[in-house]
A and B are shown apart, each in its own frame.
Chain A
Amino acid sequence: MSDKSTDAYWKANVRIITICMVIWALVSFGFGIVFRPLLAGIPIGGTDLGFWFAQQGSMLTFIALIFYYRSYMNKLDKEFGVEE
């Protein structure tokens, strides 16, 4: 594999990591903590959506993020011919 495609592969990887990290921070630090007052109007099970994100929603999002990243990278590995 040439240096140029190594660079392109790495850039694509860093890009998808950045996107995932933004979502990671948004659901936990964002919806679960800092922006919780903004979600106070959305009721769920006797409390508000921010509480749900803090106690359940962020964990479920984390799982989805890792599996999404995994399948994205498996495809990227094949595209660049760097899979094992």
Chain B
Amino acid sequence: MDQYILNLIFVGGSFALYIGIAIWARAGSTSDFYAASRGVNPVVNGAATAADWMSAASFISMAGLIAAVGYGNSTFLMGWTGGYVLLAMLLAPYLRKFGRFTVPDFIGDRFYSQTARLVAVISLLIISITYVIGQMTGAAVAFSRFLEVTNQTGLFIASGVVFCYAVLGGMKGITYTQLAQYVVLIIAYTIPAVFISFQLTGNPIPQLGLWSTHTGSGEPLLATLNSVLMDLGFNDYTGNHGSTFNMVLFTMSLMVGTAGLPHVIIRFFTVPRVADARTSAGWALVFIALLYTVAPAVGAMARLNIITTLWPQGIEGEPLAFDAKPDWMLNWERTGLLRFEDKNGDGLIQYYNQANPPARAIEEGWEGNEMVLFNNDILVLANPEIAQLPGWVIGLIAAGGLAAALSTAAGLLLAISSAVSHDLLKKMIMPQISEKAELMAARVSMAFAIALATWLGLNPPGFAAQVVALAFGLAAASLFPAIMMGIFSKKMNSTGAIVGMLVGLLSTVLYIFTYLGWFFIPGTNMLANTPDNWLFGISPLSFGTVGAALNFAAAYITLSMTKEAPAEIQELVESIRVPKGAGAAVDH
């Protein structure tokens, strides 16, 4: 069957499923819309959280990032999973006990301050809107490659589908579509990995294949990869070639940032009991790890596959000829994400590290690396083609990539719309608003958020990758410390929390803009973004950890100079620390 038809069947079929679920799970009340009426099974919520969390970046980009650097990018694996330990122990159970609908709602009520609520709303909007851009562009890439439509058409289709289930169903619709999306994306990710692991190591389980013997060389897979990379002048895969200090700080920023992301936190408001919130965090991490333990295997194996495709007999043999390029290279060259250039005009592709050329390159006078562009995002999407898998696997990958992007987009859109309709409108501007009107407002703001996300997807700022760093940095520096102190520090008062959040927010934004440019506009950075210029050698991407520390410090210094939180607030904190009585807190 034609590949295009296969892709269409898989993508179309999965979309029909999501819309079917949306019609089945319509939201009838604000509690349905914001928190799925708190009736979600903890294992189901775990899977929904996994889909909510695993974005286009996890599905499409992460394995490519690991493949490109090797050990140094293990930060993503540890950072993006370690945050769930923080969520399970420090935040989720108590926030569930408190029984509110949004993150700013907790911060506003716990710190008895509309200013605190407003600062939290602003942080939430910056974090979630920047994050949604990546999902929309990820969806557009998948559409344009697999369905051969323009980016624009792809985006409109994606927005239309999200509109159906998010506006109709709210959190209830999103929860059950995310469950379906998790199933689609995990199958799509695992199947090619199983084939590749089996081809390279004879072990069909990728998590074990990574540590197994490479059947081609008889040596361990990772040792083989190290030696072929070093033959071509690249760093070895398993070595540490960066700064250990920044690796620690960056991992910590990702962990704390993950725990502070509002669209992840609100998923834990949907389970019936406090104990379920703990269980749910555990299951979420199990479902996430099913993909995250496969990703490093996919990264290492695909990198080895690509090198052996380009150098079929190793560096001493004849490289691949330009006119012998396999179909997947031709397919991806058309997208502009892969490019070759015959610099020395010999009709052969010499792929090597031109900054550290191997001896043969100097002897034969090669004129530079001829695979001039290999975008990291190709790796996962092209994986089935690289490993010569059947056409239906390619269709499955297309549906999986879209599931990852759309499930995260929906979670983000809900976080955005509930902050607007619940926190800004109901809690600040129009307290008298009826439940029916609030539900309508939630739907309207959701529709606006989708329109905004689509517009941003059509006109993507050229700095999407850096913006994601900003989202994690801000979540780590503003929301996480405020929520944690709200639970663990009974005496923390409103002034302390507000000063802390502002210090964390502003220091992080300033540090990032100093090196990456004001609002990421190239050329407006005050200092060059090089390790020599960084304050104490701290990379702007790792600054979230420092911002969080400054937030805590500023809050406690302010607390020491002002009056502690009033007695009734301290009692409130005592009550959220114990699970008993969460049922009563639901309706407010």
- Which residues of A pack against B, CB within 8 Å? 1, 3, 6, 9-10, 13-14, 17, 20-21, 24, 28-29, 32-34, 36, 44-48, 51-52, 54-56, 58-60, 62-63, 65-67, 69-70, 73-74, 77, 80-84
- Stretch from B286-294, B358-366, B468-476 that touches the partner: B286-294
Contact with A along B394-414 (1 / 0, CB 8 A): 000000000000000000000
Complex formed: what's the CA distance from A83 to B93 in Å?
Answer: 12
CB within 8 Å for A51 and B579 given contacts A45-B220, A84-B273: no
Complex formed: what's the CA distance from A14 to B240 in Å?
Answer: 35
B281 surroundings in chain A (CB, below 8 A): 66
CB within 8 Å for A62 and B273 given contacts A55-B74, A77-B579: no
B488 surroundings in chain A (CB, below 8 A): 14
Give which listed residue, B77, B85, B221, B238, contacts A24 with CB less than 8 A.
B85
User: Does B578 touch A at the CB level, under 8 Å?
Assistant: yes
A44 surroundings in chain B (CB, below 8 A): 211
Complex formed: what's the CA distance from A14 to B244 in Å?
Answer: 30
Q: Which of B219, B275, B282 has the most CB of A within 10 A?
A: B282
Whether B84 contacts A66 by the Cβ 8 Å rule is: yes
User: Does B78 touch A at the CB level, under 8 Å?
Assistant: yes
Whether A54 contacts B71 by the Cβ 8 Å rule is: yes
Contact with A along B267-287 (1 / 0, CB 8 A): 000000111001101100110
Q: Can you sample 30 A-B contacts with CB below 8 Å?
A: A3-B574, A14-B488, A20-B85, A29-B248, A29-B251, A33-B244, A34-B244, A45-B210, A45-B212, A45-B221, A46-B220, A46-B238, A47-B220, A47-B222, A51-B74, A54-B78, A55-B77, A55-B210, A58-B82, A60-B293, A62-B85, A66-B84, A66-B85, A66-B281, A70-B278, A73-B93, A74-B275, A83-B579, A83-B580, A84-B579
Chain B: which residue is nearest A80 at the CB level?
A: B578
CB within 8 Å for A84 and B582 given contacts A17-B90, A46-B222, A69-B89: yes
Number of interface residues of B (CB under 8 A): 53
CB within 8 Å for A46 and B278 given contacts A58-B78, A84-B579: no
B282 surroundings in chain A (CB, below 8 A): 63, 66-67, 70
User: Does B161 touch A at the CB level, under 8 Å?
Assistant: no
Complex formed: what's the CA distance from A42 to B320 in Å?
Answer: 38
Give which listed residue, A46, A55, A84, contacts B296 with CB less than 8 A.
A55
CB distance from A81 to the nearest CB of B (A): 8
Complex formed: what's the CA distance from A10 to B279 in Å?
Answer: 19
Complex formed: what's the CA distance from A14 to B577 in Å?
Answer: 11
Complex formed: what's the CA distance from A20 to B224 in Å?
Answer: 37
Q: Which of B66, B89, B273 has the most CB of A within 10 A?
A: B89
Whether A84 contacts B580 by the Cβ 8 Å rule is: yes
A47 surroundings in chain B (CB, below 8 A): 220, 222-223, 226, 238
User: Does B7 touch A at the CB level, under 8 Å?
Assistant: no
A51 surroundings in chain B (CB, below 8 A): 71, 74, 222, 238
B84 surroundings in chain A (CB, below 8 A): 62, 66
B219 surroundings in chain A (CB, below 8 A): 46
B265 surroundings in chain A (CB, below 8 A): none
A45 surroundings in chain B (CB, below 8 A): 210-212, 220-222
A3 surroundings in chain B (CB, below 8 A): 574
Give which listed residue, A10, A46, A66, A81, contacts B223 with CB less than 8 A.
A46
Contact with A along B77-106 (1 / 0, CB 8 A): 110011011001110010000000000000
B90 surroundings in chain A (CB, below 8 A): 17
A24 surroundings in chain B (CB, below 8 A): 82, 85
Would you call the interface of chain B mostly helix, strand, loop, or mixed? helix
Give which listed residue, A54, A70, A81, contacts B77 with CB less than 8 A.
A54
Whether A66 contacts B74 by the Cβ 8 Å rule is: no
Whether B578 contacts A70 by the Cβ 8 Å rule is: no
User: Does B207 touch A at the CB level, under 8 Å?
Assistant: yes
CB distance from B547 to the nearest CB of A (A): 18
User: Does B252 touch A at the CB level, under 8 Å?
Assistant: yes
Give which listed residue, A13, A33, A66, contacts B247 with CB less than 8 A.
A33
Whether B275 contacts A84 by the Cβ 8 Å rule is: yes
Whether A66 contacts B252 by the Cβ 8 Å rule is: no
Complex formed: what's the CA distance from A27 to B405 in Å?
Answer: 31
CB distance from B225 to the nearest CB of A (A): 8
A73 surroundings in chain B (CB, below 8 A): 93, 275, 278
Q: Which of B74, B275, B289 has the most CB of A within 10 A?
A: B74
CB within 8 Å for A1 and B578 given contacts A20-B85, A47-B238, A66-B281: yes
Contacts A10-B577, A45-B222, A54-B78 known; list 13 others, CB within 8 Å. A9-B577, A33-B248, A46-B224, A54-B77, A56-B207, A58-B81, A62-B82, A63-B285, A66-B84, A66-B282, A66-B285, A70-B278, A82-B578
Whether A52 contacts B211 by the Cβ 8 Å rule is: yes
B275 surroundings in chain A (CB, below 8 A): 70, 73-74, 77, 83-84
CB distance from B300 to the nearest CB of A (A): 9
Complex formed: what's the CA distance from A60 to B296 in Å?
Answer: 14
CB distance from B491 to the nearest CB of A (A): 14
Q: Which of B71, B93, B244 has the most CB of A within 10 A?
A: B71
CB distance from A24 to the nearest CB of B (A): 5
Complex formed: what's the CA distance from A54 to B274 in Å?
Answer: 31
